[in-house]
Amino acid sequence: MFDLDRWREIFQSINKNRLRSVMSGLTVAFAILLFTLLFGVVSGLSNSFKSAFADDAQNMMVVRVWKTSKPYKGLQTGRRIQLRNNDYDFVKEEYEKNIQYQTARIYKSVSIKYKNNADNYRLRAVHPDHQYLEKTIIDEGRYLNERDLKEKSKVLVIGRLLKKDLFGEKPALNKRVNVNGSSFLIIGVFSDDGGDNEERQAYMPVTTAQMMYGNNDYISQINLGYNPNLSLDAAIAFGNKMERDLRKRMNIHPDDQSALSVRNMAEANKGVGQFMFILYIIVIFVGSGTLIAGIIGISNIMIFVIKERTKEFGIRKALGAKPSSIVGMVVQESVLITTLAGYLGLSLGTYILSLESLQEVLEKYFIKEPSVSPGIVIGATIVLILSGLIAGYVPAKKAANIKPIEALRAD
């Protein structure tokens, strides 16, 4: 492997057959370049799917209700379905083993004022578990807790941008603001990866909102995080059962999709997983086909090289050279060409994917931050080495088995 004379002979052989070596190397370089670009695009699509749900837990389910579109059990079409606290408690008790987190949501638009600064903001009334389902990051203070719910406390957790609107660079923690005419204490400031809209809203206890806005037990929707130990299929089955049970409980037609729905992230994750798997299979198939073409090209080049050096190999064998030394030399040359060409393609592909101008264009097509993972680089390296071995071994073995007298007579 580290024989200087052998390396000198290999480079002399490559130099003698420069055009053939370059052409065969370009075939491999193109194969790896194509492979790298395709994998980068697929990883960019995967990043887009992940970022679309960056601010939500990957195991979330959302129960929503609207008006009925079908009559059922003597009840008319157009009946408004309303979720209540007892529905929330039913889900919590009935499916306790399958639930990791659970919260209700109530949506309001409110006016929040501090001194001379005031504006309208979105308000969500929630339970403490909402922090984990929404992936809320507490920057200052704390989130809502069970005591706030029990005491119906007039407290707020506000977004980073909402704080900036009302307080500028001044501290907001433990300050009081006016919410639709009522005084509320700010107990926390949060940030959220969901963007500006998420960070320009406020959270209050769901019990406080029910007391202030109608003095009722209404809730807008139920959000929960299913047990992460459940498989995707089990989580989908759980979501379907919960939907059937809620339809039965609220006298909703089993096929009335307009009245109640359960949005299940398990279904989305399974669909995305299947889609990405198919894409990766296509990339591997296309890349492998191109790489095989490169291997065949290098193998053909090595056959021509060996044919030109047949007499040389015969003299070597006549002088006592072992067949393994001839095989080793030919295979080593093949591996060298393949590896150098492959890394040229890999480096070029990685560079192209890193271009900011290209990334800006691709992002318009929902391909975000395309890149090649270290695992792919390691895998490509192994493939390159094996490809070089395969491309050089067959013609090398044939050359090594030729008899010296036949080699010397070869034209």
Alpha-carbon dihedral sign for residues 374, 375, 381, 384: negative
Whose CA is closest to 130, among 50, 225, 37?
Answer: 225
CA distance 192 to 159: 8
Give me the pLDDT at residue 52, please: 62
Structure confidence at residue 51 (pLDDT): 67
CA max distance for the chain: 106
Q: In three state form, how does the secondary structure of 361-398 look?
A: HHHCCCCCCCCCCHHHHHHHHHHHHHHHHHHHHHHHHH
pLDDT at 120 over 80: yes
**pLDDT of 15 over the 90 cut:** no
Q: Is the dihedral of CA 289, 293, 299, 303 positive or negative?
A: positive
Tell me the average pLDDT across 43-71: 82
Checking if the pLDDT of 328 tops 80, the result is: no
Residues 215-263 pLDDT 10s: 899 999 999 999 999 999 999 999 999 999 999 999 999 989 889 999 9
Q: What is the mean pLDDT of the chain?
A: 85
Over residues 153-204, the pLDDT tens digits come to 999 999 999 999 999 999 999 999 999 999 999 999 999 887 788 899 999 9
Tokens (6 digits) for 364:
């318009």
Burial class (CB in 10 A: 0-12, 13-18, 19+), 98: buried
What's the pTM? 0.71
Identify which of 316, 302, 320, 321 has the alpha carbon closest to the alpha carbon of residue 408.
Answer: 316
Q: Over 80: is that where the pLDDT of 298 sits?
A: no
Strands in 265-403 per DSSP E? none
Q: Residue 76 has what DSSP assignment?
A: P
What pLDDT score does 112 carry?
A: 96
Name the one residue in this structure whose structure tokens are 């200052």.
Answer: 140
Q: What is the pLDDT of residues 340-389, one digit of tens each?
A: 888 888 888 888 888 888 888 887 777 888 887 777 767 776 776 777 77
Is the predicted pLDDT of residue 329 greater than 80, yes or no? Answer: no
DSSP 96: G
**Pick from 42-51, 102-111, 161-170, 380-389: least confident:** 380-389
β-strands 201-205, 60-65 pairing: unpaired
Secondary structure (3-state) at 107: strand
- pLDDT of 1 strictly over 60: no
| Joined tokens for residue 115 | 């001194």
